Amino acid sequence: MSSFRSLRVATVVLIAGITCAAQASEFRTMGVRALSMGGAAVACPAPAYAAYYNPAALGLDDRSAIDISLGLGVADTGLAAHLDPLMAYDWNAAIANPQGSEATAIITELKKIKSTDALMIKPDAAVAMRLYHLASGVYGSAQFVVYANLDLAHINQTGLSDPNSFAFNSSELFLKGLGLVEVPLAYGTSFKVGESGTLCVGGALKYIEGATYDVRQGVFITSDSDQIRDRLTNADKMSSGFGVDLGLLYRTMEDRLSLGLLARNLNSPKFETVTGDSFAEDAQLRAGAAYKVSEHIIAALDVDLTSNKTLVTGYNSRQVSAGIGYEARIFAVRGGVTKDIEANGSPVVWSLGTSLGDEALHLDLAASVSGSSQTYDKYTIPSEGSFMVALGGGW
């Protein structure tokens, strides 16, 4: 079978997704092996994570696997550098004396903050399971976002007679959060495509328990910890829903090239907040390719085909992820890179991971770090980073 004909078949598999431009929620990386490859896994998911990255991969073989992972990520889009000076100023004194130097310093700092500046905390945990062509598990992920609600109308250094005086400034810190626990039931099967290769299709029906946090009344920048706790009380709300995922995977007959397409949350489940709003898990489309360079080396590439919303209003995400891995019998090392091409000024994030042990029992470790940094409280730290550990096995 010619490579040209194989490419034509693969193109047909992906063409429907390339024309889609729907809005969706930010794609979350789950599992150590995917993180170490920069998040590229749609065309080559780890066996236990097929239900999450591409249920069509369940149709490729009769493997079984289980994986337990725990991770934490932190990302700063520009807020951390402003928090230290803002919290050091005496806001009460500045409001009482808008013409003073304290007010001048605060106003100068407020003007530097962009509406998309935020601090994001992203914990996750998973128990991923696969039994032959079926898969399930418990996938837990959350995102908490601290961002500034800027009052740039009241920044005049004038007295109380001016309605735009800094004496009436109400700049605050807000908090949003969305935690999801997904329990999928996934199945995949395969079909021969003449002599060119194998086409797999799969789907997952997911029960989703969601917890939202929406502190719209704000936390004033000078608030102490007791005041912050009071504002967070009763800011959460639990609700449940269902999600539907579909996947396609094409693999050439020689098992070298794989092309995948994942459509997540096609029904766009929504989760209500205590403020009467809702956070939506909108439909999402992600394409991937993987190439087996040799018996031990594989390279992968994933691209978001949707522009994906985050909890920060106006800050959208669209990731391009790439990775390469070397896998021997009892040892593996992987590296990857991720770039958000939707968010202006987003850093390149590098990742590295390793596996110790064989397929029957292995320990996986991975970490990622951005190439850019922020300064907070005199310390220079990466603007984004994460760490994940997992214990898994297969048969």
> Which of 3-7, 39-43, 182-186 has the weakest average pLDDT?
3-7
Closest CA to 348 of 312, 384, 316: 384
- Rounded to whole angstroms, the Cα distance separating 148 from 112 reads 12
How high is the pLDDT of residue 14?
Answer: 39
How many angstroms separate the Cα of 105 from the Cα of each of 90, 128, 155?
10, 51, 11
Closest CA to 81 of 331, 295, 373: 373
Looking up residue 167, the CATH number of its domain turns out to be: 2.40.160.40
- Rounded to whole angstroms, the Cα distance separating 214 from 16 reads 36
Domain region containing 263? 3-394
Mean pLDDT of 210-217: 78
Q: Tokens for 129?
A: 């399971």
pLDDT tens by residue, 66-120: 999 999 999 998 888 888 788 788 888 888 999 999 999 999 999 999 888 898 9
- Rounded to whole angstroms, the Cα distance separating 369 from 354 reads 16
What domain count does the chain have?
Answer: 1
How high is the pLDDT of residue 9?
Answer: 41
How high is the pLDDT of residue 161?
Answer: 92
Q: Any idea what DSSP says for residue 344? A: T
pLDDT at position 234 over 90: no
pLDDT tens by residue, 291-323: 999 999 999 999 999 998 888 878 889 999 999
Contact 337, 38 (CB under 8 A): yes
How high is the pLDDT of residue 137?
Answer: 97
- Rounded to whole angstroms, the Cα distance separating 65 from 309 reads 32
Q: Tokens for 257?
A: 């090239």
How high is the pLDDT of residue 299?
Answer: 98
How high is the pLDDT of residue 91?
Answer: 85
pLDDT tens by residue, 29-47: 999 999 999 999 999 999 9
